[in-house]
Structure 1
Amino acid sequence: MIDELKNIEYVLFDLDGTVSDSSEGITKSADKALKSEGIDVPFETLTSFISPALRVSFGRYTDDVEKRDRMLDVYRERYSEKGWCENKIYPGMAELLRDLQKSGKHVVLASAKPEYFCRKIIKYFGVEQYFDFIGGSDMEGKRDDKTVLLTYVLDNIGNPPSDKIVMIGDRKFDVECAHNHGIKCIGAKYGFSEGDELDFLADTVEDLRKMLL
């Protein structure tokens, strides 16, 4: 079954927990935002903010839309200032992206993070030249649902046949959106997965290389 991945033409990557370890910037920004509204939670639980849309994540702590949006503003203020670069690309990932492109595969980003930050982070890592398209959410929340986001990404790469595409991500949102589009999904177990969210498994970036090249 893994052998069929060798014939994939389009490789779609999630960003947080898949291309990079973004936990420091996200959790510190989420902590500040929650505390701004008097919400104090164990810091170690804040990895739940990695990958889902922020409106969804903050919505777990309040039903008050105005309160949620205030926390979102605090989060974005800190994240814009320094959280975005409290971020490390996984060892071997830059080389994998380069070699996927060299092999003729189309490398694409599909992240729930706002597209502005996706582009900024990918450029910061020095790997933007390997991507055919960088797709993220919008600030207004129109692409918060990852299935909707993936529709947007697929539209922008010409809607290739689903059997020529694979999605790589570390959370159930990545698996669900891929399956909703009839696309295979590789779980990046080295990211922030809880272990029961995945389909194909890659324990390391090197495992991804062996599957795809």
Structure 2
Amino acid sequence: MKKKKYEFILFDLDGTLTDPKVGITKSVQYALAKYDIKVDNLEELESFIGPPLGESFKEFYSFTDEEARQAIEYYREYFGEQGIFENEVYPQIPILLEELKKKDKVLIVATSKPTVFAKKILEYFNLENYFDLVVGSNLDGTRTYKAEVIQYAFSELGIEDLNKAVMIGDRKHDVIGGNKNGIDTIAVTYGYGSYEELKDVNPTYFADSIKDILDIIVHDSAS
């Protein structure tokens, strides 16, 4: 495969830049408890990391649209105050971002998490200055799907040459979103999507580590 020179680098947030397991699963646990659903083992709620929340409540707990909407409100009660900070940056991510900025790459966060929360997380971890744009969903439940998020980012920055863009993420939704927009994708295996889940949606590359991401983006143009 002849590799491309990427200029526009889109990152998923949860499971790609940071490990949000504790905060997200505790927020889901809190929301489910409002419906008298008791989940003691937070490992059981890892499937909520990545996809749109409403979709997950409906898929995993058969919530109606209205129940899912209300569950998201409960989720945000905990997440907005505490869960948002029960999170940690993956080791080497700051080094990766620093290296990419040195190469004059345009860095974008493209997440299904509400933009307001994504920005708070990046600010909390002092990562916000690396990114040219942070795009997430809206609090009213719109723009939750990754394809919409990516499309909006391209529109905001006037990106037209899709051969120079790549989407990086740990779940199938990231790869599907990239595919729908006609861009290359890098599926990272250190996050929360299984290899089987990612393989089934045909990413352009797999990255088992943050070093692999750097190799694909920075060293590709010399190949």
User: TM-score with structure 2 length normalisation?
Assistant: 0.90
- Answer yes or no: is the 8 Å Cα contact 1:18–1:188 preserved in 2: yes
The equivalent residue for 1:45 is 44
- C-alpha deviations, 1:133-180, integer Å up to 9, x for none? 011000111101221121111111212311100100000000101001
User: 1:73-115 CA deviation, whole Å, 9 max, x = no partner?
Assistant: 1110000011011111110101111110111111111000000
TM-fit CA distance, 1:66: 2.9
| Larger displacement relative to structure 2 (146-155 or 55-64) | 55-64
Name the residue aligned to 2:122. Answer: 122
- Is 1:188 the counterpart of 2:188? The answer is yes
1:94 counterpart residue number: 94
2:149 corresponds in structure 1 to: 149
Q: Hey, what's the Cα distance between the residues in 1 that align with 2:103 and 2:22?
A: 33
In structure 2, C-alpha distance between the alignment counterparts of 1:195 and 1:88, rounded to whole Å = 23
Kept after mapping to 1: 8 A contact 2:10/2:165: yes
2:178 pairs with 1:178: yes
Measure how far apart 1:70 and its partner are.
2.3
C-alpha root-mean-square deviation of aligned residues, in Å? 1.4
Structure 2 counterpart of 1:54: 53
Which position in structure 1 is the counterpart of 2:27?
29
Counterpart of 1:206 in 2: which secondary structure? Answer: helix
Please tell me whether the aligned partners of residues 37 and 67 of structure 1 are also in contact (alpha carbons under 8 angstroms).
no
Describe the SS at the equivalent of 2:91: coil
Among 197, 204, 209, the alignment partner of 2:209 is 204
Measured in 1, the distance between the counterparts of 2:47 and 2:100 equals: 30
What is the correspondence of 1:95-114 to structure 2 with a 5 Å cutoff?
Answer: 95-114=95-114
Matched, 1:20 2:25: no
Structure 1 residue 67: Cα displacement: 2.2
Tell me the secondary structure at the aligned position of residue 31 of structure 1.
helix
The runs of 5 or more residues in structure 1 that have no matched partner are none
Greater shift, 156-165 or 173-182, is seen at 156-165
SS, match of residue 135 in structure 2? strand
Percent identity of equivalent pairs: 38
Distance 2:36 2:48 in 1: 18
Q: Distance in 1 between matches of 2:23 and 2:42?
A: 13
Secondary structure, counterpart of 1:4 in structure 2: coil
SS in structure 2 at match of 1:11: strand
**TM-score, length-scaled by structure 1:** 0.94
Q: When the two structures are aligned, how many residues end up with a matched partner?
A: 211
